[in-house]
Amino acid sequence: MVPPYDDQPTVRLRAIAPAPKFPAPNPAPNAVPEFTEDKGDADGAETVGAAPHAGISKNAWHAFRTFWPLSKGDRRWLVLICLCVVIAALAETGAVLLFGELTDHALKEGSVSAFWGPAGKWLAMATFGALIGYIGNSAAVWVAERFVMRLRARIFSHVQVLPPHFFQRHRQGDLVTRLTGDVEAIEQMVVSGVVQTVSALFSTVFFFGAALMLRWDLALATFALAPLFWLAARQFASRIRTAARQERVADGAITSVVEESLGNVVLTQAYNRRRDEEKRLHTEARAWMRASVRGNRLSEMYEQVVQVMETVCVLTIIGLGAWEISEGRMTLGQLLSFAAFLGYLFPPIRQLGQLGLTVTAATAGAERLLEILAARPAVTDPPRVAPPDQEIYGVVEFERVSFQYPGTVTDTDLGTVTDLGAATDTDLGAATDTDLGTATDTVPGAATGTATGTAPGGSTEAAGHVPVRPALRDVSFTARPGELVLITGPSGAGKSTVAKLLPRFYDPGAGDIRLDGIPLDALPLEFLRERVTLLPQETLVLHGTIRENIACGRPGATDDEIFRAARDAAAHDFVNALPDGYDTHLAPGTAQLSGGQLQRVAIARALLRDSPVLVLDEPTAGLDALAARQVIAPLRRLMSGRTTLLITHDLHLAPDADRILVLDHGRLAESGRHEELLVRGGTYSRLHGNGAARQLATS
C-alpha cells in the first residue's frame, strides 16, 4: 500500500482522524483571494493607494497592525481556537502513529486480535478530534464574522462623517465594494490568517516531530526540501498581488457602472444610451474577467508546481524507504507511517507558503480600506465641550469668511502644493494607525480645508487639480432672529457653500462664523446641527414611511405633532389622500410623490425640527410654477420667527427679504433690500431682469 502523500489521501486519513477545517485564507487550492489593481478610483478623483513598488511584507504588516485592534474583545476566543487547532493536530499525529502500529501488528501479521486495541484508540482519538474540530471551527467562524461585522461598522461609521466632496469624488459602487468584498479580505488576513498560521505551524511541528521520531534521517532529508515550497510561493506572490488588485478595482467599477446606470435610467432611455451603458459595463466586465482569469491561472500554476515538487519528495522517500526495508532497517509499518506523516506534513507546509499569497492578496483589499480611513472628516467635534447653557436665538454672523474646497488649488496656492503633500503624508500615517484603536476622528490640520481627503502613498487631492478661485472670499454679514436673508448671485458664486458652512460640513479657511456670538467650532456638532436646519437643493428622502420621514426632524415626535407639521407644510391633505396615508413607503428616487409634494414633506420635517436657524438652498428648484407656488406658503410659515438664509435664483421672495446678499465670484458684491439693489443697477438688478425691473421699482 502506498501511503498518502497528497491532498486526496490526506483527506482520506483525515476522515479517519478528523482535522479541523478552520476558515482557510484560500478557500480552495486554486482559489486565489480576490484581486485589485492600484489604478486608483476609476474616475481618477482621488489619489491612489500605497505604491505598488513598496515592500509587500511592509504593506501587509502595516495593514495587519492597523486592523488587528479590531479583534480586541475576541482575542481569548482566538486563543481557544488556536488551542483547538493544536489539540486537533496532536490527535492527527496520534492517529498516524496508530496507523503504523495497525499496519505492523494487525495487517502485516494478519492478526485480528492485534487489531482491536489500536483500532479502539484510533476511534477514541478520532471522536475526540472531531469534537475539538467542531468547537474550533464554530468558534473560528463566529470570531471571523464578528470581526467582519465590526470592521464594516467601523468603516461605515468613518465614511458617514466624511465631507460631501469625498462622495463627489468617489464612485458609490466602488465604495460599496470596499465595504463588502474588501472588508472580508481583511478578515482573511487578520483572523483566519492568524488561526491558519498557528494551525500550519503546529501541524508542521507535530508531524515533523513524529517523522523525526520514526526516522530522523529521512525526516531531515524531507524537511530540507521545504524551502522549495517557500521559494515557489515567493515567485508567485507579486504577480498574484497585482492580479488581486486589478480584480478588486474592476469589481468596484462594475458595481459603480451598474449603480450609476440604474440610477440614471431615464437619461439612458430618453437619449438612447442603452448601448453606451452596455459598452461601459462590458469594458469593466472584461477588465474583471481578465484579472480574474489571470489570478486563477497563476494560482493554478502555483498549485501544479507545488504538486510536482511534492511528488518528487514522495518518490525520493519511497525510494529511500524501499532501500531501507530491503536492508532490514525499516518495517513496512514504519515506512507507511512515515509516508503518512509526509502526507500530513505537506499541506501545512504548503499552507504556510500559500498564507503569504493570501496575505499578499488581502493586502490589496486592506489598502483600499486604508484609503478610506485616510480620508479625514473636514470637521471634528470640539473635545469635551458641553453644550452651552444659554438658549440659542439664532444670530448668525459671518466675519471675513474665506473658504476653498479641499483638494482645489488656487493660483496663489500653487507654489505650496508640495507642502500639502508633506502635510497629508504625516496625517495619514497617524490617521490609519490610531483610527481603529481610538474612536476619535481628529487629525491635525484636518479642518483647514486644504489638507484633507488624501490617500496613502503621499499623493494629495491637490495634485493634478486645475487652479480655481476660492469658493468664498472675505464674506461678512449678520442675520438676526426673525430676519429673512436672501442670498443670490450667478451660478458658481458660492451661495451653496454658505449653506454648507453653517451646519459645519466644512470649516472656513479664514474668518469666523458664529451663532449667538459662539464660534461654530466651539459648539458640539450635534448641538449645532439641531439648531441649524438645512433644506438642501435635492429633497432628502429616507427609506421609510412618510410618518418616519417627517418624524426624523425630531425623533420621538408624537403623531399629533407630525400631523400638525404636515398641515403647516400643506402636506396633510395629499398624504391622507394616499391609500396608505402616513404609512406610505418612500425611498430615495421614489415616484410615489411629485417633487413639490416631496418638498412639502421635507418642509414638514423642518417645521417639526423647530430650530432657530434655517438654511434653505433653492427650495423651489426643479419645481414647476404651480408646485413652486404651493410650497411658498408653507415656506413662509416655516421661516416665520427664525433666522432664515434663503439661497435662491428665484427672486419671487426677494421683496419680502429683510436683506439680500449678492455673491459674485465668492465675494459679497452687494447687500441691501430689494428696492435699493434694483435702483443701484448692479449685479442684482441684472439678475432680476435689470431695466424693466428698475423702472418698476422706481415708479
Ligand X SMILES: Nc1ncnc2c1ncn2[C@@H]1O[C@H](COP(=O)(O)OP(=O)(O)OP(=O)(O)O)[C@@H](O)[C@H]1O
CA pair distance 216, 527, nearest whole angstrom: 73
Nearest-10 crossing angle of helices 113-160, 75-102: 160
Q: Which is nearer to ligand X, 572 or 667 (CB)?
A: 667
Using alpha carbons, select from 75, 278, 62 the residue that is nearest to residue 186.
62
Considering only residues 580 through 639, tell me which ones interact with ligand X, judged by CB under 6 A: none
Segment near ligand X (CB under 6 A), from 90-98, 487-495, 527-535, 579-587? 487-495
Q: Which is nearer to ligand X, 237 or 651 (CB)?
A: 651
Largest Cα span, the chain = 125
Q: Which is nearer to ligand X, 22 or 405 (CB)?
A: 405
Taking CB under 6 A as the rule, does residue 495 contact ligand X? yes
Task: Provide the minimum distance between the beta carbon of 450 and ligand X in the complex, in angstroms, as a whole number.
Answer: 12
Taking CB under 6 A as the rule, does residue 684 contact ligand X? no
- In 580-620, alpha helices (H): 595-609
Among residues 70, 97, 306, 471, the one that binds ligand X under rule CB under 6 A: 471
- DSSP assignment of 62-124 equals HHHHHHGGGGTTSHHHHHHHHHHHHHHHHHHHHHHHHHHHHIIIIITTT-SHHHHHHHHHHHH
Task: Provide the minimum distance between the beta carbon of 588 and ligand X in the complex, in angstroms, as a whole number.
Answer: 20
The amino acid that residue 355 corresponds to is L
Joined grid coordinates for residue 23: 476558515
Task: Provide the minimum distance between the beta carbon of 162 and ligand X in the complex, in angstroms, as a whole number.
Answer: 12
Among residues 50, 342, 446, 493, the one that binds ligand X under rule CB under 6 A: 493
Segment near ligand X (CB under 6 A), from 131-139, 227-235, 492-500, 681-689? 492-500
Task: Provide the minimum distance between the beta carbon of 443 and ligand X in the complex, in angstroms, as a whole number.
Answer: 19
Q: Which is nearer to ligand X, 71 or 408 (CB)?
A: 408
Task: Provide the minimum distance between the beta carbon of 11 and ligand X in the complex, in angstroms, as a whole number.
Answer: 56
- DSSP assignment of 658-673 equals SEEEEEETTEEEEEE-
Contacts 24+ apart (CB under 8 A), 150-159: 150/70, 151/67, 151/70, 151/183, 151/186, 151/187, 151/369, 152/179, 152/180, 152/183, 154/70, 154/436, 155/179, 155/183, 155/369, 155/372, 155/373, 158/372, 158/373, 158/435, 158/441, 159/372
Task: Provide the minimum distance between the beta carbon of 599 and ligand X in the complex, in angstroms, as a whole number.
Answer: 17
Q: Which is nearer to ligand X, 488 or 630 (CB)?
A: 488
Taking CB under 6 A as the rule, does residue 494 contact ligand X? yes
Segment near ligand X (CB under 6 A), from 84-92, 327-335, 485-493, 561-569? 485-493
Task: Provide the minimum distance between the beta carbon of 493 and ligand X in the complex, in angstroms, as a whole number.
Answer: 4
The amino acid that residue 596 corresponds to is G
Please count the residues of this chain forming the interface with ligand X, following the rule CB under 6 A: 13
CA pair distance 269, 196, nearest whole angstrom: 51
Segment near ligand X (CB under 6 A), from 233-241, 477-485, 494-502, 628-636? 494-502
Q: Which is nearer to ligand X, 566 or 645 (CB)?
A: 645
In the numeric block, the cell 496656492 is attached to 413
Task: Provide the minimum distance between the beta carbon of 408 and ligand X in the complex, in angstroms, as a whole number.
Answer: 5
Task: Provide the minimum distance between the beta carbon of 405 and ligand X in the complex, in angstroms, as a whole number.
Answer: 3
Q: Which is nearer to ligand X, 356 or 489 (CB)?
A: 489
Q: Which is nearer to ligand X, 24 or 493 (CB)?
A: 493
Segment near ligand X (CB under 6 A), from 11-19, 57-65, 125-133, 491-499? 491-499
The helix/strand/coil state of 600 is helix
Task: Provide the minimum distance between the beta carbon of 416 and ligand X in the complex, in angstroms, as a whole number.
Answer: 18
Among residues 8, 127, 168, 640, the one that binds ligand X under rule CB under 6 A: 168
Task: Provide the minimum distance between the beta carbon of 71 and ligand X in the complex, in angstroms, as a whole number.
Answer: 36
Radius of gyration for the alpha carbons in the chain, expressed in angstroms and rounded: 34
Using alpha carbons, select from 693, 589, 567 the residue that is nearest to residue 633.
567
Segment near ligand X (CB under 6 A), from 85-93, 218-226, 488-496, 573-581? 488-496
CA pair distance 564, 587, nearest whole angstrom: 23
Taking CB under 6 A as the rule, does residue 492 contact ligand X? yes
Report the residue count for the chain: 699
The amino acid that residue 28 corresponds to is A
Taking CB under 6 A as the rule, does residue 206 contact ligand X? no
Q: Which is nearer to ligand X, 458 or 492 (CB)?
A: 492
Task: Provide the minimum distance between the beta carbon of 684 and ligand X in the complex, in angstroms, as a whole number.
Answer: 14
- DSSP assignment of 199-239 equals HHHHHHHHHHHHHHHH-HHHHHHHHTTHHHHHHHHHHHHHH
Task: Provide the minimum distance between the beta carbon of 169 and ligand X in the complex, in angstroms, as a whole number.
Answer: 8
Joined grid coordinates for residue 688: 432680476
How is residue 581 annotated by DSSP?
A: G
Give the number of other CB atoms < 10 A from CB of residue 39: 16
Taking CB under 6 A as the rule, does residue 379 contact ligand X? no
Q: Which is nearer to ligand X, 257 or 647 (CB)?
A: 647
x/- track of binding to ligand X for residues 396-435 (CB under 6 A): ---------x--x---------------------------
Q: Which is nearer to ligand X, 641 or 689 (CB)?
A: 689
Element (H, E) at 400: strand 396-403
Taking CB under 6 A as the rule, does residue 165 contact ligand X? yes
Q: Which is nearer to ligand X, 462 or 569 (CB)?
A: 462
Task: Provide the minimum distance between the beta carbon of 400 and ligand X in the complex, in angstroms, as a whole number.
Answer: 18
Please calculate the CA angle 81-86-88 and round it to the nearest 5 degrees: 90
Cβ distance 17 to 92 under 8 Å? yes
Among residues 36, 222, 334, 496, the one that binds ligand X under rule CB under 6 A: 496
- In 390-494, alpha helices (H): 417-437
CA pair distance 618, 615, nearest whole angstrom: 10
Using alpha carbons, select from 141, 97, 132 the residue that is nearest to residue 118.
97
Segment near ligand X (CB under 6 A), from 303-311, 489-497, 631-639, 690-698? 489-497
Task: Provide the minimum distance between the beta carbon of 194 and ligand X in the complex, in angstroms, as a whole number.
Answer: 41
Site residues (CB under 6 A) for ligand X? 165, 168, 405, 408, 471, 489, 491-497
